[in-house]
Amino acid sequence: MAPASPSSVKRRCRRCLYWIPVLFISIIVCWSYYAYVIQLCIVSMENIGEKVLCLLAYHFFVLLFVWSYWKTIFTSPMNPTKEFHLSYADKELIEREPRGESQQEVLRRLAKDLPVYTRTMSGAIRYCDRCQLVKPDRCHHCSVCDKCILKMDHHCPWVNNCVGFSNYKFFLLFLAYSLLYCLFIVATDLQYFIKFWTMTLELSAVGNETQSNVHHNRTQITQELSTVDSKMQSSVQHNETQNGLPDTQAKFHIMFLFFAAAMFSVSLSSLFGYHCWLVCKNRSTLEAFRAPVFRHGTDKNGFSLGFSKNLRQIFGDEKKFWLLPVFTSQGDGCSFPTCLVNQDPEQVSTPTGANLTAKSIENHPFPSKPLRESQSHLLTDSQSWTESNGNSEKGTLGMSNPGLAIENET
Ligand SMILES: [Zn+2]
Ligand SMILES: [Zn+2]
């Protein structure tokens, strides 16, 4: 067996390092489980009803949180289908003349039969040099995964995975459930956290009283100290029985659990709020930073179909599955309905759109498989990708963009 080359060893080491943030989160979750279940519920809570209720609710939140986190990490991002890849002959042609007219010809020919409506900033068809394929709409090349990812949102180090079409719903649920998990801990831990500080302040007050008395009357020091000692002991006992914080170990865990949960709640709520806004607008994080370019120009709302349809694109039609980390997103990830039929001067619209849609689907070689019901909804009651592009594809694609160039995205 040949020894591994230095570059492959380096790559493997890098892959291991990518797991460190996931390991960090996992350790924090495991510790929070120990701190909440053992130290707070079992050791510190005295009321049986409160204990049972907190344990049940906690396990409900932690189950959904870990489930959605797991699915976000281990759901492989989807890559463009073989229709978008160049054939062996086309690859040879492009390799022979990487920047020549033949390359433009190949891309034009390929894109003509594909539902590709977005372009590069210069108006060229989007092409990935590394994967040697025409990029579907909303697809981007991830430099970490070294692959083209369908509807790429971003590469998330906290899940060591690309967040894209296949796992965006899981990522959203992961944010939602981790936020709920943290808020639940903050809400139920708060009273114990306050009691801890109250007890600390009381002890501190007793200690100050001691020092003052000793300073004024040194002859009574022994007597004072013994009085104070008994005061402190009784204070501790009083607090322990009253507050339910019987030992310092529990106090330490309860205090840090509260701090950690509060800290994560703040950062998660801003991230979750931002992604809710993106879902409402039907934008990926990348599209929020750089708006997609269509034939008629840049349009940040090009994929937005209205709040309800935008929501259904991610979560699907069946509401009973919305809150579960199971895949229910609409579409195939390669093509997306747009709302641009009335804005694109190259696109022809009909009063109803129905005939045009049917005709376009009939004439279009993509997708080869029948459209799902969820897609049909979008196609019949809104301007779809087939409708918005079917006509213009025939005569204008490629021709209207003489400066066809290669887009390199890493
Ligand atoms: Zn690529
Ligand atoms: Zn990636």
Q: What is the pTM of this model?
A: 0.75
> H or E segment at 360?
helix 354-363
Write down the pLDDT at residue 86.
Answer: 87
Write down the pLDDT at residue 207.
Answer: 54
In a domain, 1, yes or no: no
- 304 and 184 in a common domain: no
Distance in angstroms (rounded) separating the CA atoms of residues 300 and 317: 25
Residue 162 gets which letter from DSSP?
E
Split into its structural domains, the chain has a count of 2
- 174 and 40 in a common domain: yes
Give 309's strand partners.
Answer: none
What is the tens place of the pLDDT at every residue in 149-170? 999 999 999 999 999 999 999 9
Give SS3 for 142. strand
Nearest to 384 by CA among 400, 366, 407, 398: 366
Write down the pLDDT at residue 186.
Answer: 97
In a domain, 278, yes or no: no
Distance in angstroms (rounded) separating the CA atoms of residues 327 and 170: 8
Ligand minimally distant from the alpha carbon of residue 157: 2
Neighbouring CB atoms inside 10 A of 264's CB total: 20
**Positions marked catalytic:** 156
Which residue among 243, 273, 303 closes a domain?
A: 273
- 316 and 218 in a common domain: no
162 alpha carbon – ligand 1 mean position (Å): 13
- 182 and 48 in a common domain: yes
Q: With beta carbons less than 8 A apart as the criterion, state whether 115 and 364 touch.
A: yes
Neighbouring CB atoms inside 10 A of 197's CB total: 10
In a domain, 198, yes or no: yes
In a domain, 409, yes or no: no
Write down the pLDDT at residue 342.
Answer: 47
- 210 and 63 in a common domain: yes
254 alpha carbon – ligand 1 mean position (Å): 47
Locate 100 and state its tokens. 């020549």
94 alpha carbon – ligand 1 mean position (Å): 16
Which residue among 229, 245, 273 closes a domain?
A: 273
Ligand minimally distant from the alpha carbon of residue 147: 1
**Intervals of the chain under pLDDT 50:** 214, 219, 221, 225, 228, 232, 234-244, 342, 344-410
Question: Which domain, by its residues, includes 86?
Answer: 82-164+284-404
- 146 and 253 in a common domain: no
- 292 and 266 in a common domain: no
